């Protein structure tokens, strides 16, 4: 009989409890799963760490992950996002298998470094996209792979929560760009993008272009307490993380990540998609919904009804709700009789079952992480990170194309009247809110166009000796060139940049091989 796998875990908050619960339930419901020993729990606060270890069933504790990663068989990295890369890479280099929570890193570069380390390692590396392990999601993939809904034409996904609706909800590391990397985009959007890849990626050729828009609703929040940085990679606020009732508390910290985002996706086969997420959507607790349309049918899933899948195929007049609780459905033969539903926590049991099985198999050379489409690898995590990075860059481009910018332009103007037009504005300076068409109307108020597309000066004032006003030419959207025999120094113009494409190409970066390790 093989020796139990020793497990080290960084973090003991929301995600720590979810994964520790999964490890405890594995031998009870999945007797064929590898035996594990919950060996070491890692955290920063030594006093709180001991109590957490007792509660979660760990034999010992450590305050430095460096003392642990080389001494265990498996590392569960559930730390805040900025602590994902270094411990995970160090563990892989030491020959320790890793399950790291999503998003894989705070940056695209960090995620690609982690994926590279995983590719060079001889042990499995898995990212925590636990919604792949919902039986209804697995059933949906079966239908899609079997061609039940035909060619994929559209994907729609949304993930809505409301735990930050209250502007007095306390600040936490999840609201800090340096530690979280992003807000709703990485916290929630990562799950939706992964499901898009998992469910329709192979049949669409992958995501190859994106656009996006990000919004921060509350720009600063009160500080309740420092808390423990290693309390977990939460998607929602912890039950014990509440705002301070002390009205004398006045310290606030800035929110440097997005509260909500929307994005458009383009797939290589021409299919289109939309993804949105919010942590300020009042009335939505954990509303993760996806809808997939094909040429012969549609599928619809809601995490708040995770035992059901709405299916429309063939000549049916509408959706039919399928209760995915039969023994023939994925994982259900390990649980209860048909009709007895599962919950959110069961996804972590399924995730650990698949991951730890791949770890045990890798020691015998039978299989590795990524050999089945279920187990998401670091390569999958990096592919999702590239999509998220593209959405963020597209949002920045969008802001740049619609925001007012101060630009230095070389302008030659009338030497006698200073370019004053009939509306009272100088033709060299326009109010920031004026767009190109408004500026052009102002220019036309000062200059008359001739038949060649140029314009002639209509100044009513006497020119100084030796001065004349020549024609002007509008070259492009914003540059104004005036031909005159007298030049003045460059002036500052408040210009509204012309609209540009806000789609970011990610062709070839998402990839069609979605499950390679």
CATH of the domain at 391: 3.30.360.10
Closest CA to 344 of 318, 306, 373, 314: 306
Question: How do residues 466-503 score in pLDDT, each as one tens digit?
Answer: 444 433 332 333 333 333 334 434 333 333 444 445 67
Question: How do residues 415-425 score in pLDDT, each as one tens digit?
Answer: 444 443 333 33
User: What pLDDT does residue 172 have?
Assistant: 94
32 alpha carbon, distance to own chain's centre: 35
Query: What separation in angstroms does the CA of 410 have from each of 456, 472, 487, 488?
Result: 20, 13, 9, 8
Check whether residue 383 and residue 408 sit in a common domain. Answer: no
User: What pLDDT does residue 504 have?
Assistant: 74
Check whether residue 79 and residue 173 sit in a common domain. Answer: no
pTM, to two decimals: 0.77
Residue 188 lies in a domain: yes
At residue 128, φ and ψ (nearest 5 deg) are -80, 65
Contact (CB, 8 A) for 290 and 304: no
Nearest 5°: the CA angle 144, 148, 151 is 70
Tell whether the model's pLDDT for residue 44 goes beyond 50: yes
Check whether residue 435 and residue 293 sit in a common domain. Answer: no
Residue 30 lies in a domain: yes
Tell whether the model's pLDDT for residue 153 goes beyond 60: yes
Tell whether the model's pLDDT for residue 426 goes beyond 60: no
Contact (CB, 8 A) for 408 and 488: no
At residue 373, φ and ψ (nearest 5 deg) are -70, -15
Tell whether the model's pLDDT for residue 434 goes beyond 50: no
Residue 489 lies in a domain: yes
Closest CA to 325 of 349, 352, 345, 305: 305
Question: How do residues 323-357 score in pLDDT, each as one tens digit?
Answer: 999 999 999 999 999 999 999 999 999 999 999 99
For residues 428 and 200, the model is more confident at 200
Residue 343 lies in a domain: no
Number of domain units in the chain: 3
Question: How do residues 377-408 score in pLDDT, each as one tens digit?
Answer: 999 999 999 999 999 999 998 887 643 333 33
Question: Given the structure tokens 């709405």, which residue do they identify?
Answer: 310
User: What pLDDT does residue 364 have?
Assistant: 72
User: What pLDDT does residue 415 have?
Assistant: 40
Check whether residue 146 and residue 27 sit in a common domain. Answer: no
Question: How do residues 50-98 score in pLDDT, each as one tens digit?
Answer: 999 999 999 999 999 999 999 999 999 999 999 999 999 999 999 999 9
User: What pLDDT does residue 488 have?
Assistant: 39
How far apart CA 84 and CA 320 sit, in angstroms, is 41
CATH of the domain at 88: 3.40.50.720
Residue 454 lies in a domain: yes
Residue 359 lies in a domain: no
Kindly indicate the confidence band of residue 437, based on its pLDDT and cuts at 50, 70 and 90: low
H and E: helices and strands count for the chain: 11, 23
Give the residue numbers spanning the domain of 466.
404-496
User: What pLDDT does residue 510 have?
Assistant: 58
């Amino acid at each position: 009989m093989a020796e139990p796998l020793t497990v080290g875990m960084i973090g003991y908050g929301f995600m720590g409890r979810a994964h520790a619960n999964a490890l405890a339930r594995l031998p009870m419901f999945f007797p064929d799963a590898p035996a594990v020993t919950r060996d070491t729990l890692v955290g920063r606060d030594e006093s709180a760490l001991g109590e957490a270890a007792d509660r979660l069933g760990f034999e010992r504790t450590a305050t430095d992950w460096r003392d642990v990663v080389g001494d265990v068989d498996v590392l569960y990295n559930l730390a805040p996002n900025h602590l994902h890369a270094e411990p995970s890479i160090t563990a892989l280099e030491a020959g320790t298998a890793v399950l790291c929570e999503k998003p894989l890193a705070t940056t695209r570069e960090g995620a690609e470094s982690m994926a590279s380390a995983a590719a060079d390692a001889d042990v499995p590396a898995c990212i925590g996209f636990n919604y792949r392990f919902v039986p209804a999601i697995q059933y949906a993939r079966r239908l899609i792979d079997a061609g039940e809904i035909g060619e994929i034409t559209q994907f729609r996904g949304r993930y809505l929560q409301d735990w930050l609706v209250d502007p007095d909800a306390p600040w936490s590391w999840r609201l800090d760009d340096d530690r979280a990397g992003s807000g709703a985009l990485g916290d929630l959007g990562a799950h939706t993008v992964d499901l898009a890849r998992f469910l329709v990626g192979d049949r669409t050729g992958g995501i190859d272009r994106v656009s996006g828009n990000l919004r921060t609703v509350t720009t600063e929040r009160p500080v309740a307490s420092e808390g423990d940085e290693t309390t977990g990679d939460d998607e929602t606020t912890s039950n014990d993380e509440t705002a301070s009732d002390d009205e004398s508390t006045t310290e606030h910290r800035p929110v440097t990540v997005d509260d909500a985002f929307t994005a458009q996706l383009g797939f290589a086969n021409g299919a289109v998609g939309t993804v949105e997420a919010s942590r300020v959507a009042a009335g939505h607790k954990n509303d993760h919904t996806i809808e997939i349309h094909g040429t012969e049918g549609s599928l619809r899933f809601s995490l708040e009804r995770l035992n059901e899948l709405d299916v429309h195929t063939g000549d049916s007049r509408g959706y039919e709700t399928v209760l995915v609780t039969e023994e023939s459905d994925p994982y259900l033969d390990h649980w209860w009789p048909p009709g007895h539903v599962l919950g959110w926590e069961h996804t972590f049991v399924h995730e650990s079952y698949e991951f730890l099985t791949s770890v045990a198999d890798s020691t015998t050379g039978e299989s590795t992480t990524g050999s089945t489409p279920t187990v998401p690898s670091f390569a999958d995590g990096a592919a999702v990170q590239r999509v998220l990075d593209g959405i963020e860059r597209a949002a920045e481009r969008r802001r740049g194309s619609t925001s007012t910018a101060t630009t230095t332009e070389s302008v030659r103007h009338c030497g006698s009247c200073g370019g004053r037009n009939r509306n009272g504005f100088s033709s060299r300076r326009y109010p920031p809110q004026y767009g190109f068409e408004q500026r052009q109307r102002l220019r036309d108020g000062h200059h008359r166009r001739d038949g060649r597309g140029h314009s002639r000066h209509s100044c009513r004032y006497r020119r100084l000796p030796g001065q004349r006003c020549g024609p002007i030419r509008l070259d492009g959207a914003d540059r104004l060139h005036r031909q005159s025999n007298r030049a003045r120094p460059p002036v500052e113009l408040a210009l509204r940049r012309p609209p540009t494409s806000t789609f970011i190409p990610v062709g070839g970066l998402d990839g069609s091989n979605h499950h390679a390790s």
